[in-house]
Amino acid sequence: MIVKVCEDAKNLGIFIGFTEVHSVTVEKNSQLIEMELQKIEEKYKGENPENLKDNPVVRAYRDFYWKIGIDPTKIRPSGEALRRRVSRNGKLPRINNVVDSGNISSTETLVPIGLYDIDKIIGNPRIIISKGDELFYGIGKKEPEKVSPGIPIMVDESGKVMHIYPHRDSVLTSITLETKNVLIVSAGVPGVEKDLVFYAAKLTAELLVKYANGKWDGMVKLG
């Protein structure tokens, strides 16, 4: 699978790292990944959350949010939100071993990680700029919403909106207990090093191999 970033999105400075992990076993309450979650919680629980705004990676994502019309003081970049959660109450959410792997990686790197069920994706996804007539079925939302024009989104070849870049994923391609094959996308923006974005995808894949019995070819691609 190839994930393409269209020219209009590239002009905003968007780039991604992506890879696939196959044959995963999705589990809730995995004791193996619980130890990894506790390790990352212990590492960051004493951090002062107010200092995060001065972190250059957090700053880059906040600047990008402002550029696309999102107030990052109200809707936090996902890595920052996870790190703040740990620093304030010492705990990450427990969803399942696949989603938790992405959260561990994002907490560590501050890079947003998207995880998608490959078998629910039609063709090769693309990151494009919305026209304003697309429907988005957000995780945790009862009703679909219309995407505002001029927003970077990831769509598959059927036009299904998989993701609003770089902070919201769709329930239509989300990870469930039946998921077997996972697309990992790490979201880059101006001011964030490509090596860090690649490492975030790599770390997530390695966690899926270790804690979800996944099969991975070891390659992260640039989009």
pLDDT tens for each residue of 161-193: 999 999 899 999 999 999 999 999 999 999 999
Structural domain including 33 reads: 4-222
Across the range 83-109, mean pLDDT stands at: 96
Domain total for the chain? 1
Q: What CATH number is given to the structural domain containing 192?
A: 3.50.40.10
Please determine, for residue 142, whether its predicted confidence score (pLDDT) is greater than 90. no
Supply the mean pLDDT for the chain: 96
Please, are residues 19 and 207 in contact by the beta-carbon 8 Å criterion? no
For 8-65, write each residue's pLDDT tens digit. 999 999 999 999 999 999 999 889 999 999 999 999 998 998 899 899 999 999 999 9
In the predicted structure, residue 140 carries a pLDDT above the cut 90 = no
User: Residue 146 phi/psi, 5° resolution?
Assistant: -85, 135
Angle between helix 31-44 and helix 97-109 axes, rounded to 10 deg: 20
